[in-house]
A and B are shown apart, each in its own frame.
Chain A
Amino acid sequence: MSVEERLPAPAGLLLDRSKKISFRFQDKQYEAWQGDSIASALAASGQWILSRSFKYHRPRGILSMAGQDANALVQLPSDPNTLADVTPVSDQLAVVAQNFKGSLEHDKHAWIGRFSRFMPAGFYYKAFFRPKGVWEKIWAPIIRSRAGLGVVDTNYTSGYFDKQYAFTDVAVIGAGPAGLSAALAAANGGASVLLVDENRLLGGSLTYARLAGAADAAARHREQLVSAVGAHANITVMCESMCNGWFTDNWLAVIKGSRLYKVRAKEVIVCSGSMEQPAIFRNNDLPGIMLGSAAQRLIKWYAVRPGRQAVVLTGNSHGYGVALDLLDAGVRVAAVVDMRAEPTADALSRAIADRGVRIITGSAIYEAVPDASKNHVVAVEVRGISARGRCADHGERIPCDLVCMSPGYTPAYQLICHAGGRVAYDDATSMFTLEGLPQHMHMAGSVTGMYVHESVCAEGRYAGRAALQSLGLSTEDIEPAPVRGLSDRVNFDWPIFAHPAGKEFVDFDEDLQIHDIIVSTLDGYEDIQLVKRYTTVGMGPSQGRHSALATARIVADATGRTVAETGVTTARPPFAPERIAHNAGRSFYPERHSAMHHRHLEAGAQMLIAGAWLRPAFYGEKGQRDQCMAREALNVRQNVGLVDVSTLGGIEVRGPDAAELLQRIYTFRFAKQAVGRCRYAVMANEQGVVIDDGVACRLHEQLYYVTATTGGVDRVYQSMLRWNAQWRLNVDIANVTSTWCGVNIAGPKSREVLRRLCTDVDLSSQAFPYMGVQEGHVAEIPARIMRVGFVGELGYEIHVPQHYGEYLWDRLMEVGVEYGIQPFGIEAQRLLRLEKGHIIIGQDTDAMSFPAEVNLDWAVAKEKPFFVGNRAIQEVNTRGLTRKLAGFVIEDANAPCPQESHLVLDGDRMTGRVTSCYVSPTLGKTIGMAFVAPEQAQPGSTVTIKSTNGRLVEAKIVKLPFYDPDNKRQEM
């Protein structure tokens, strides 16, 4: 059929008949209208086979036309497992089928189906494990080459994926008649409403199903509801959007295109509808056999005539609606086979009778008959139902190329189950029902088992008003919810007809037949969860959407329980497959830059990540780390260097109890610290472990400015706040890290450089000694200047308000030129401090390090009545050391430089590990620090380090620091 031969409008709702496009499937070219799905365009051209089945390689075609079955999975160039029935075809798209060998029409593996009776459920577990080793060597390679679906394109370049937050009073999931009515009711009451639907068109079943009365009744209802929704200012509509999961407190994951919406709704109304189910009879998987609603979608959405001669198998009035739509589309309807013995007559069935269609009641399709190539249905064997699930011995063969199945529905219960709702079964109506919805979740429409149009809309309105009440936007009494009536009964109780030759498929994804499910129960796996795992029923791509109901019925029957007792397996998010990119795509991690960031980049810095910050590692070419580090370090030792220390934490503690708070928070003593002096401050946790360090500067009797490590400041700040929440000292604690930025100017010439820019502070050694702090101006910027010596040279930390940072940097670099000033990075700083024997918390300490182990016992004030960690430190100090941090040098110039965490050995015994190690350009040898056994820590003793590639290196323990032990350099 060429595209011009499609059915006339109003059929073809999704088509744009002004744009003809062309695409490839396998090695043939096909035409389509813009708006066609891959499957609809293929069906229109007579190509009914879309794939081969997973296990028996049977030909498979359209089943649901709603993206709910694995038959429709095809391969796109960079997208495996694409749903052909819902994916729009694009011009020049190249589509291939999946899971076949040879050609799609003549699959060389189709012979496997003939052996299906030797491959019952669980045969994996029984057949392939003897003799030993046979699985890995023989069976696994064979099975793996035959199983599996699409092919991943490993050269695939990912597109742009991101995330967005959305907030709404009411989220309505599903825009069928119930969802549209619910959205309108909630929006009319003043709530903001987000209406989410997976389809391209609003209207749900109204876009394809047949209502009683005029042929266009559904279209007219749809038009009314959709135009009201479109005109409503309070309603935001999201089409082609999949609500893939409900998470606690109404957090919904909604995927639209390449964006994941994180929706927070105060109320959720689930109007997800229901999914039509297949009937189960021999060869029910043949191409040409589809759900009634699939045929209606082909007609109404795509203007495709689904066949020439049809048999409709039904258990409800919807099948008659399907038959009417088929007749209107020019399909001959050979018979409507109604499984009900005495169906109640209604408008639809009377219309069918009036049009002269043969109605066969109390009968079922016993078997579908394939053509010679076994690729399409050519007839069905219709037999009377003699007992539940049993057919008479003889019947009638009716030729047809289309079979429509309308035996009933399963509610789309997944979202409700994510939220803790439970699936029950109503024996009177043979339907799954839902109960136990959490607060702030409502449901309406066919998901509740409501099918009569007026009741569905009424239930939607009721849910909308219930949401308004829950939001406090309405206090008026609401009319009672509509109740299900006889006309809402849509499920035939037992549309399952076993055949002696089998091939009655319960699960199309996994090629499971009635017998397979029963075998599982006979093998002792009676629980529905075990049946699932033993048979793999419901584990395929369609996740039981068309197999859960039949499986529950069959297991219930085989185990003598009710369907309600048997239940269904757990439904977990995601509802539909989602791309890893949706979750992994752009994330919200912040990145912090200091005020001097651009100057570092301009100077050619290689940046490293420190927490959220980017810091200059060294200045120079990527591969030149060691040379750059050495050059920068030597310049600090010989001239003067400048390092950005803006990332250091800054906390201001202000108030009458400022000193008292520090006394309690830090291990050292601060009460008598003089104004204008700095003190080293070590912080322990309650377990006595060293967790941070910094410098406490007393700027005023009642004001301390305390620095903290880059990565630790938030923790330090929170710890102070938490402790003071309990102590209630009279202090104000403020994290001023981002208020201030800073540099450390260090080296023998640093005083001379600083003097050029700082005239209101006496920088002489007498007036401004080591560990002094002064407030003044540098380059006319108000500054806090601390004389500290992390790198072991004369040096000043200059902290200024952060927006002056770049200016400060520029002025210092400018006046420093004649003194040989150079910037130095974090790597050089780490080397310099190692030479000076200073530890870095977190590098030279771990989660067990108490002060004495890392040579900080001098910084612990033992006479204080209390500080955080004091009791634990007292306890561990009575037990003696089990390890100690010690300095080492490696004299052998040819030995490889050990890396952090290389092991320290004493013979065969591991006694510690290296924490820091560098080649020191100043000292001309490799130096480092390591945890060693206490008996190894004595200067002069020798330890063995297991270095790179297991090479054993001798190291000599030395007294710290390595450089300038008399502190002459930093105190000059």
Chain B
Amino acid sequence: MKLMRCPLNGWRNISEFTYGGEVESMPNPVTDASDVWAEYLFFHQNPAGLVHEWWCHTATSYWFIAERNTVTDEIIKTYPTSELFQKRVDFSQEEST
């Protein structure tokens, strides 16, 4: 069984982790067109080679990012999400009730 290094918990069996899909940036919920949203929601790149993916250490619910090579089946590196997402995200500040 493969091992994966969780940035929080260290090396663990890969069966302890949940795959969370490719890292993709979400389109703008208001301004982007429907086909852009359809592409985002229903199509995935699935490249042969280097991929950036969400992974979660299931037992601790800790999300992180993994760089993996799908051809050689190597996990190249794993790192906390804070390295990728550094700024607060806000949507348009309409008053809501």
Which residues of A lie under 8 Å from residue B89 when comparing CB positions? 726-728
A718/B34 in contact, CB under 8 A: no
Which residues of A lie under 8 Å from residue B63 when comparing CB positions? 718, 721-722, 725
Nearest A residue to B38, CB-CB: A875
Which residues of A lie under 8 Å from residue B26 when comparing CB positions? 686
A863/B87 in contact, CB under 8 A: no
CA distance A672 to B95 in the complex (A): 10
Chain B residue total in the interface (Cβ 8 A): 34
With A861-B96, A871-B37 as known contacts, state yes or no: A735 contacts B91, CB within 8 Å: no
A717/B61 in contact, CB under 8 A: yes
Q: Tell me the residues in window 37-88 of chain B with beta carbons closer than 8 Å to chain A beta carbons.
A: 37, 41-42, 54, 56, 58, 61-63, 73, 81-82, 85-88
Q: Is B92 an interface residue (CB 8 A)?
A: yes
Which residues of A lie under 8 Å from residue B86 when comparing CB positions? 728
Residue in contact with B94 in the complex, picked from A721, A735, A863, A871, CB distance below 8 Å: A863
With A251-B1, A872-B37 as known contacts, state yes or no: A671 contacts B96, CB within 8 Å: yes
CA distance A865 to B91 in the complex (A): 6
A672/B85 in contact, CB under 8 A: no
Residue in contact with B93 in the complex, picked from A247, A672, A721, A865, CB distance below 8 Å: A865
B2/A871 in contact, CB under 8 A: no
A718/B56 in contact, CB under 8 A: yes
With A669-B97, A671-B97, A728-B85 as known contacts, state yes or no: A686 contacts B29, CB within 8 Å: no
Main secondary structure of the interface of A (DSSP, over half): mixed
With A718-B63, A725-B85, A866-B91 as known contacts, state yes or no: A669 contacts B54, CB within 8 Å: no
Nearest A residue to B20, CB-CB: A722
Nearest A residue to B30, CB-CB: A865
Residue in contact with A721 in the complex, picked from B61, B82, B88, B91, CB distance below 8 Å: B61
CA distance A735 to B73 in the complex (A): 33
Which residues of B lie under 8 Å from residue A672 when comparing CB positions? 96-97
Q: Is A520 an interface residue (CB 8 A)?
A: no
Nearest A residue to B37, CB-CB: A871
Nearest B residue to A250, CB-CB: B3
Residue in contact with B2 in the complex, picked from A249, A717, A866, CB distance below 8 Å: A249
Q: Is A233 an interface residue (CB 8 A)?
A: no
CB distance from A764 to the nearest CB of B (A): 28
B87/A728 in contact, CB under 8 A: yes
CA distance A248 to B11 in the complex (A): 14
Nearest A residue to B61, CB-CB: A718
With A725-B81, A728-B85, A875-B34 as known contacts, state yes or no: A714 contacts B61, CB within 8 Å: yes
A248/B97 in contact, CB under 8 A: no
Residue in contact with B96 in the complex, picked from A251, A863, A871, CB distance below 8 Å: A863
CA distance A871 to B81 in the complex (A): 25
CB distance from A652 to the nearest CB of B (A): 14
With A249-B2, A875-B34 as known contacts, state yes or no: A687 contacts B88, CB within 8 Å: no
Q: Is A864 an interface residue (CB 8 A)?
A: yes
Which residues of B lie under 8 Å from residue A735 when comparing CB positions? 61
Q: Is A663 an interface residue (CB 8 A)?
A: yes
Which residues of A lie under 8 Å from residue B92 when comparing CB positions? 865
Q: Is A140 an interface residue (CB 8 A)?
A: no
Q: Interface size for chain A: under 10, 10 to 19, 20 to 34, or 35 or more residues?
A: 20 to 34
Q: Is A729 an interface residue (CB 8 A)?
A: yes
Which residues of B lie under 8 Å from residue A729 when comparing CB positions? 88
A726/B29 in contact, CB under 8 A: no
Could you give, for residues 140-155 of chain A, a 1 whenever the CB lies within 8 Å of some chain B CB and a 0 otherwise?
Answer: 0000000000000000
A248/B1 in contact, CB under 8 A: yes
Q: Tell me the residues in window 682-734 of chain A with beta carbons closer than 8 Å to chain B beta carbons.
A: 686-687, 714, 717-718, 721-722, 725-729
B41/A686 in contact, CB under 8 A: yes
CA distance A470 to B8 in the complex (A): 25
Which residues of B lie under 8 Å from residue A727 when comparing CB positions? 85, 88-89
A875/B3 in contact, CB under 8 A: no
Q: Tell me the residues in window 659-676 of chain A with beta carbons closer than 8 Å to chain B beta carbons.
A: 663-664, 669, 671-672
CA distance A735 to B60 in the complex (A): 10
CB distance from A724 to the nearest CB of B (A): 9
Nearest A residue to B94, CB-CB: A865
Q: Is A316 an interface residue (CB 8 A)?
A: no
CA distance A251 to B14 in the complex (A): 12
Residue in contact with B41 in the complex, picked from A249, A687, A717, A726, CB distance below 8 Å: A687
Q: Tell me the residues in window 15-36 of chain B with beta carbons closer than 8 Å to chain A beta carbons.
A: 18, 20, 26-27, 29-30, 34
Which residues of B lie under 8 Å from residue A40 when comparing CB positions? none
Which residues of B lie under 8 Å from residue A249 when comparing CB positions? 1-3
B97/A722 in contact, CB under 8 A: no
Nearest B residue to A253, CB-CB: B1
Which residues of B lie under 8 Å from residue A863 when comparing CB positions? 94, 96-97
CA distance A870 to B27 in the complex (A): 12
CB distance from A113 to the nearest CB of B (A): 47
CA distance A714 to B42 in the complex (A): 24
CA distance A722 to B24 in the complex (A): 13
CB distance from A863 to the nearest CB of B (A): 6
Which residues of B lie under 8 Å from residue A871 when comparing CB positions? 27, 29, 37
Which residues of B lie under 8 Å from residue A663 when comparing CB positions? 96
CA distance A861 to B94 in the complex (A): 13
CA distance A340 to B38 in the complex (A): 74
CB distance from A245 to the nearest CB of B (A): 11
CA distance A861 to B61 in the complex (A): 29
Which residues of B lie under 8 Å from residue A686 when comparing CB positions? 26, 41
CA distance A262 to B1 in the complex (A): 10
Which residues of A lie under 8 Å from residue B41 when comparing CB positions? 686-687, 872
Which residues of A lie under 8 Å from residue B54 when comparing CB positions? 722
Which residues of B lie under 8 Å from residue A718 when comparing CB positions? 18, 56, 61, 63
CB distance from A164 to the nearest CB of B (A): 14
CB distance from A890 to the nearest CB of B (A): 39
CA distance A664 to B88 in the complex (A): 14
Which residues of B lie under 8 Å from residue A248 when comparing CB positions? 1-3, 73
Q: Tell me the residues in window 923-956 of chain A with beta carbons closer than 8 Å to chain B beta carbons.
A: none
Which residues of A lie under 8 Å from residue B1 when comparing CB positions? 247-249, 251, 262
Nearest B residue to A872, CB-CB: B41
CB distance from B64 to the nearest CB of A (A): 9
CA distance A884 to B76 in the complex (A): 47
CA distance A728 to B86 in the complex (A): 8
CB distance from B57 to the nearest CB of A (A): 10
CA distance A872 to B93 in the complex (A): 21
Which residues of A lie under 8 Å from residue B2 when comparing CB positions? 248-249, 251
Which residues of B lie under 8 Å from residue A728 when comparing CB positions? 85-89
CA distance A385 to B19 in the complex (A): 63
Residue in contact with A875 in the complex, picked from B37, B58, B87, CB distance below 8 Å: B37
A866/B29 in contact, CB under 8 A: yes
CA distance A865 to B73 in the complex (A): 41
Nearest A residue to B64, CB-CB: A725
Could you give, for residues 294-333 of chain A, a 1 whenever the CB lies within 8 Å of some chain B CB and a 0 otherwise?
Answer: 0000000000000000000000000000000000000000
CB distance from A897 to the nearest CB of B (A): 39
CA distance A672 to B30 in the complex (A): 23
A726/B91 in contact, CB under 8 A: no
CB distance from B69 to the nearest CB of A (A): 14
CA distance A654 to B9 in the complex (A): 24
Which residues of B lie under 8 Å from residue A714 when comparing CB positions? 58, 61
CB distance from A399 to the nearest CB of B (A): 57
CA distance A638 to B28 in the complex (A): 53
**Besides the contacts A251-B1, A863-B94, A865-B93, what 16 more A-B pairs have beta carbons closer than 8 Å?**
A248-B2, A671-B97, A714-B58, A718-B63, A721-B61, A722-B63, A725-B82, A726-B89, A728-B86, A728-B88, A729-B88, A863-B96, A865-B92, A871-B29, A871-B37, A875-B34
Give A residues with C-beta under 8 Å from B. Answer: 247-249, 251, 262, 264, 663-664, 669, 671-672, 686-687, 714, 717-718, 721-722, 725-729, 735, 861, 863-866, 870-872, 875
Q: What are 29 A-B contacts with C-beta separation under 8 Å?
A: A247-B1, A248-B1, A248-B2, A248-B3, A249-B3, A262-B1, A264-B13, A664-B91, A669-B96, A672-B96, A687-B41, A714-B61, A718-B18, A718-B61, A721-B61, A722-B20, A725-B82, A726-B89, A727-B88, A728-B85, A728-B87, A729-B88, A863-B96, A865-B29, A865-B30, A865-B92, A870-B29, A872-B41, A875-B37
